[in-house]
Structure 1
Amino acid sequence: MIKILLVGLWVCALTLGGVYAAVSLGGKPDENAEAKVETPTEYVSGETLSLPVVSDGEVSGYFLARLSVIVDSDKAKKIHVPVAPYITDQLFGLLVGDKLIDLPNTGRLDVAGFKTRVKDGINAQFGEEIVTGVIVEQLDYLSKADLRSEDPSRRSHTVKIVEGEKPPEAKSEGASH
């Protein structure tokens, strides 16, 4: 009987010692744990745009573009301004103003660089890092000659500049912020 009592006390002492050692030697929690928490994001759908391409003083064709962005929803709520018009502004500036796409060499478009320029441009207008990602859903070119052609099979001819990405399935699709 005494042996069983001594074995029980020995097991209790070992258990308590193990718990004490685990707690005291376990260290502090990871200081970067808060940094690893994902920021809440929101999907903002952009409009489908038809942007004119002007060469030699006349319209030679149109870019069909649709971009959407992923924004930090906490920061977007603070600005109280719709983000979609800023997407349109950036697209117009890059495709029409800066002529970022060289039409004979459309295959040379740096898609990652294009997305970065859109993201950085929108964030610069807001003055803070609101946009966290850009989704290129459509970026095509239609020449004016193809649009005016009598041949219906030629009318549907578009130059796919970028193969479209699918937007994420989000709860807040089409949000205005």
Structure 2
Amino acid sequence: MIKLIGTGVWILVVTLASVFFALKMASAPKVDTTAAEREAALEFVSGYVTTVPVIGEGGVNGYLLTKLAYKANKELAAKQVVPLPQMITDELYTLLVGKKMIDVASAGSFDLDAFRATVKEGLNRRFGAEVIDEVFVEQIDYITTAAVQDPAPKRGVTIAKGKVPVEKPAEGGH
């Protein structure tokens, strides 16, 4: 009989200790308010498909098709004189035509992280503030002029393809 009571007391103590520690460990997680405020100040900007000619010997050799998306500071983006999409398109032309950031002949050595950083840095320099927080590459393709003139044989190359986060719908059902 004493064994039965001792076992019952032992089970009761273990159960109470388990519940106590479970409640103690399950307290509300600490919220980083500065990170939450920073994230709330950002908006997702989906970019356009930008077609940039690749100029070589004797004319246009092909076209780079890029589709990028961005996380931008809402307040700073609203203060810009030139709209964000047009400034982004201009910066892409500067990078891809003026600086030849992508070498189509050696597409395998393309550094996607360096490209993202250069786009972000260039845009923020032109805006004069930290407007762009993050650059997402949805896709970068190269299509030869032969593929444009005769699309039957596929002569295009996908240089980079990435994942773009899905924009969350606004609260309130809009």
Q: Is the 8 A contact 1:68 1:87 kept in 2?
A: no
Structure 1 pair 144/132, CA: closer, same or farther in 2 (3 Å)? same
Amino acid of the residue matched to residue 156 of structure 2? T
Q: Which has the larger radius of gyration?
A: 1
Identify unmatched segments of 5+ residues in structure 2.
1-31
What residue identity is the alignment partner of 2:158? K
Q: 1:36 to 1:67 in 2, by over 3 A?
A: closer
Scaled by the length of structure 2, what TM-score is found? 0.71
How many equivalent pairs are there? 137
Q: Tell me the equivalent position of 2:9.
A: none
8 Å CA contact retained: 1:44, 1:68: yes
Residues 123-176 of structure 1, C-alpha deviations (whole Å, 9 max, x = no match): 111111010000111210001122223x62x1x44200001323432347xxxx
**Would the aligned equivalents of 2:63 and 2:142 in 1 still touch at CA under 8 Å?**
yes
Identity among equivalent positions (%) equals 36
Aligned to 2:138: 137
Give the conservation status (yes or no) of the 8 Å contact 2:69–2:164.
no
**How far apart in 2 are the matches of 1:100 and 1:168?**
27
Q: Which residue of 1 aligns with 2:161?
A: 163
| Residue aligning to 1:28 | none
Return closer, same or farther for 1:43/1:64 CA change in 2, 3 Å cut-off.
same
Give matches, 1:18-57, under 5 Å: 35-39=34-38, 40-57=41-58
- Tell whether the 8 Å contact from 1:138 to 1:164 is kept in structure 2 after alignment: yes
Higher relative contact order (CA 8 A, sep 6+): 1
The structure-2 alpha-carbon separation of the partners of 1:128 and 1:96, relative to structure 1 and needing over 3 Å to count, comes to same
79-88 or 119-128, which deviates more: 79-88
Q: How far apart are residue 38 of structure 1 and its match?
A: 3.6
The range that moved more, 80-89 or 116-125, is 80-89
In structure 1, C-alpha distance between the alignment counterparts of 2:163 and 2:102, rounded to whole Å: 19
- SS, match of residue 79 in structure 1: coil
The one-letter amino acid paired with 1:166 is V
Deviation at 1:45, TM superposition (A): 1.6
Whole-Å separation in 1 of the counterparts to 2:81 and 2:149: 43
- Go from structure 1 to structure 2 and tell me whether the alpha carbon gap of 1:79 and 1:148 turns closer, same or farther (over 3 Å shift): closer
Q: Secondary structure of 1:99's match? A: coil
Q: Does 1:76 align with 2:77?
A: yes
1:118 aligned partner, one-letter code: V
Question: Structure 1 residues 78 and 106 mapped into 2: Cα distance closer, same or farther (>3 Å)?
Answer: same
> RMSD across aligned C-alpha pairs, in angstroms?
2.0
Aligned equivalents of 1:58, 1:68: Cα separation in 2: 30
Q: 2:3 maps to what in 1?
A: none
Distance 2:106 2:62 in 1: 15
